[in-house]
Each structure stands twice: as structure tokens, then as C-alpha cells.
Amino acid sequence: MGGLLAAFATRSTERFRAMAALREKAEERSLGSIESFMLATHAWLDWLIYIEELGWSDVDGKMDELSRRVRQRNEAHRRLLLLASPPLYRWLVEIYGPVEYEVKRTYARQLRMVGTVDDEGMSARRAYGKLLRVDLVEIVRPEIQGLRDPRRLGARFP
């Protein structure tokens, strides 16, 4: 009987360890997608601000660099959409998407086509910057709670 109980306890412990390892890997993937999204979106916006300061025609290789940053932003966005929790997914689709569209439609387009940015474009850029600096950080903090406070990980396991 003792051997049977020991085997059951060992099996239960191993199952707990496997579940903890799977959850930790999933949270690390989620953190990686959040980090790459944040870095890519900031890099894209920083490049646009740099272009605004220098002027579109004065920067060599500007289109190649812009294309590279846009591609990184899009890839990071798609990856994050796949790994996002339901609340983060909803936020990305309902809140982030329209604000990003507006900054592309006004600010980025005006920089590329006109060379100057009007008040509507500047307002869109400020809204997008706030969305990245404040709102995005606020919405993703719960996503990585277990990585910030590993002691709470155990509380979520069955």
C-alpha cells in the first residue's frame, strides 16, 4: 500500500512540475511577443519622428529603413495577436488598431507625401505615443504577472 501511495504522490508531483514548466514557457513566449511588439512600435514611431525633425528628403535610405521598421511592427503585431489573452486581443483590435490606423492615415502619410504635418497628424501622433507609453504598459502588466512575481505562480495551479 505504501508503494502505491508513493507512486501516486510522485506522479502527482511530476504532473505539477510539468504543468509549471508549460505555464512558464507560455508566459515567456507571451512576454517575448509583448516585448518585440513594444520595441517594434516604438522604433517605427521614433523613425517617423526622426524623419519629421530632419525632413523626408534629407535622409538617405529612408524608404528602406521605413519599410524594415513597418515590417517588424506588422510581424510583431501579428505574433502578439496570436498569443494575446482575450482582454489583450480585444484591446489590440478595438483600441490599438483604430489609433494605429489614424496615425498611419494622417501623420505618416503627411510626412511621406507632403513633408509637413498638420494639427490632425500631430494629434494622432501624440495619441499613438500615449497609447504606447501608458495604455499598452497598463494593459500588458497583468499578462506577465507570473513572471513579475513568481511566488504567485503556484496559486494559479490546480
User: Rounded to whole angstroms, how far apart are CA atoms 77 and 37?
Assistant: 6
Residues 73-123 have pLDDT tens digits of 999 999 999 988 899 999 999 999 999 999 999 999 998 888 788 999 999
**Alpha helix stretches (DSSP H) within 55-140:** 62-83, 86-91, 97-103, 109-113, 119-130, 136-140
According to the model, what pLDDT value does residue 155 have?
46
Band (pLDDT 50/70/90 cuts) for residue 10 is confident
Q: Report residue 84 as a C-alpha cell.
A: 494575446
Residues 20-48 have pLDDT tens digits of 666 767 777 888 889 999 999 999 999 99
Distances (CA, A) of 56 to 18, 31, 34, 48, 114: 53, 34, 30, 9, 9
pLDDT for residue 157 is more than 50: no
